[in-house]
Structure 1
Amino acid sequence: MYTGLMSIFFKEKPGNLNESFTSILNQTLLPNEMVLIKDGVFGDELDRVLKNFVFNCAKKNIPVKIIKHNISKGLGLSLNEGLRRCSYNYVARFDSDDINLTNRMQRTIKAFDIRDDVSVIGTNVEEFNPGNKSIKKKVPLRSNEILKFSRFRNPMNHMSVTFKKDDVEAVGGYEDVPYFEDYYLWLKMLKKSYQFLNLDDILVSVRVDDDFYHRRGGIQYVKKECKFQFKIYKEGYISIFRCILNIFFRGTPRLLPKTILAFIYKVVRSN
């Protein structure tokens, strides 16, 4: 039994949200409940997509809890608020613009049954831009590899992750760390020696359009990157040497033109 958790930004595209909702309802192992956060005031079209999803969930006997924000609070605070409303210990993160393969949750819950000691399970994902060739975003599989990888890059594809609510809450849950909410949570848990696992399967298709690179480029993103790297250095997650290297190798490309940044992303993610 598991809860599906999704925060929906008020500027989300209705068509993307509808595809994401459809992929959830097509799961071979359906959620036992859904917790949705409306992060900001929705337009009419986005609201219609949400109401249609609630209607379809009711036909499948899936209760839906909706949390409404009149003003956007951001992803970290929204997810933490939603987490408190989750009834089941297994919580699956669903992104509002990505497509879940039909067997994602059945494969994930089966993995938990086999490895009860694991707190967080993710998967490899496929990144796609309609009209272009998709690429596989691979992540390390075992917990010791995930720990090593976490010192310079996010070791989990957040949109593919399912975790144990009790363990996440034990480290304080999500925090307001713009662009790095999930990454910071994994670092907190890894430091406390919680076990992680990534399945060597592509179980989520991730939408990577022009907006994706726009959001991850520019001086404002670099400033947030620097702030995050210094934060995790001060808290003992990385050394000062690693902090400087991360800022250089992760920050510098974000100042490049969008087309070059997109090329770098594709090279890094496919290796």
Structure 2
Amino acid sequence: MTHADISVVLPVHRGVVPAHLERALRSIAEQTALPREVILVEDGPLDSGHDLAIRRVRLPGLKRIRLEVNQGAGVANQAGLEAASSTWIAKCDADDVNVPDRFERQFAVVTETGAELCGSAMLEFVGAESDVRNYRATPLTHEAIVRRLPVNNPINHPTAFFNREVALRVGGYPEWRYMQDYGLFMRLVFGGARMVNLPEPLVLFRSGEQFTRRRRSTGVRQCERHVQRSLHELGFVSAPRMWFNLAWRLAFRRLPAPILALVYKRMLSQSASPHRDLSRRKMRGAIPAASPPERSTNFQ
């Protein structure tokens, strides 16, 4: 069987539910365009349940990289990026679900357009994959992505499909425990990489209370400072804009979890996505025609 010139980079840590990891891995093994290799970065020791989940799925060119202690997403993703051998990197999360033709679709787009990065929209779900809550949109064109960059992250990281050599040339992921993807994307834009996002959701993103708690954690608030400092140092924002961004984003993060979840939904949600039926069809009936998902921008 022919495999595409794609390396999947998928970090996993002990906090991931083994059943969720297995579902994520199966969504990779069932792609219409299989990757050449899957780089599984174990960010600290895993449990026996994780090992069993990994063994249950037949993955092409599986490479397991073991980090002795948990070092966070920045270090783990960079380790996977450096270990990969393909031209293209498909970033995947350990508890999300990729639609069956995600890699095929994105590989075709970067080939046709010459873009160095292709992302897409996502559908957020809670619990069962049929319980879709939001359509997380992103700006579509390179110009719109650059305009969004000083405000918030313009790429849904679990959907990112990018050129490995270009990413390494600009320094790859910063060693941040959180929001390391934002750091990579601003480095890519600063380095002249061309980007595009697709309006169709190619990933089902697992959301819920844990997602909200993580977004208001002390570690995330600390990384907000790294992000704003980097935006200023690379010339994307002025000093006054940097301090303004930092003030309102930190205030947002400090809201109590229930209020944060409500504000997140009310402030960022818009109309239902016209692409939801397409995604349901792609998931082969995994998402039945229930209540329509809402549309949201990407706030990390």
TM bucket (normalised to shorter chain) is over 0.9
Aligned length: 264
Task: Judge conservation of contact 2:173–2:181 (CA < 8 Å) in 1.
Answer: yes
Match runs of 1:109-258 below 5 Å: 109-116=107-114, 118-130=115-127, 133-258=132-257
Indicate how the Cα distance of structure 1 residues 219 and 45 shifts in structure 2: closer, same or farther if over 3 A, else same: closer
**Displacement of 1:70 after TM fit?**
1.6
**Which residue number in structure 1 is paired with residue 268 of structure 2?**
268
Q: CA deviation at 1:69?
A: 1.2
- Kept after mapping to 2: 8 A contact 1:177/1:228: no
Is 1:105 matched with 2:100? Answer: no
Following superposition, the deviation at residue 245 of structure 1 comes to 2.4
Preserved CA contact (<8 Å) 2:182 2:227 = no
Partner of 2:286: none
Residue by residue over 1:184-222, the C-alpha shift from the partner in whole angstroms, topping out at 9 and shown as x without a partner, is 111011112210000111110100111100111144432
Q: Is the 8 A contact 2:8 2:92 kept in 1?
A: yes
Deviation at 1:259, TM superposition (A): 1.2
Is the contact made by 1:219 and 1:255 (CA closer than 8 Å) also made in structure 2?
no
CA pair 3-245 structure 1, distance change in 2 beyond 3 A: same
**Which runs of 5 or more structure 2 residues have no equivalent in the other structure?**
270-295
8 Å CA contact 1:29–1:103 kept in 2: the answer is yes
SS for the counterpart of 1:68 is strand
Call closer, same or farther: CA 1:36–1:133 in 2, change over 3 Å.
Answer: closer
What is the distance in 2 between the residues matched to 1:91 and 1:2?
6
Distance across 2 between alignment mates of 1:12 and 1:51:
16
Contact 1:27 1:104 in 2 (8 A): yes
Please name the residue that 2:12 is paired with.
8
Q: Identity of aligned pairs, percent?
A: 27
Where in structure 1 are there 5+ consecutive unaligned residues? none
Distance 1:211 1:21 in 2: 21
Distance 1:200 1:158, change over 3 A: same
Q: Name the aligned partner's letter for residue 27 of structure 2.
A: S
Indicate the RMSD between aligned Cα atoms, in angstroms. Answer: 1.6
Question: What code does the residue aligned with 1:226 have?
Answer: R
Q: Deviations over 1:206-262 (max 9, x none)?
A: 001111001111444323313431343234332122212212332212111111111
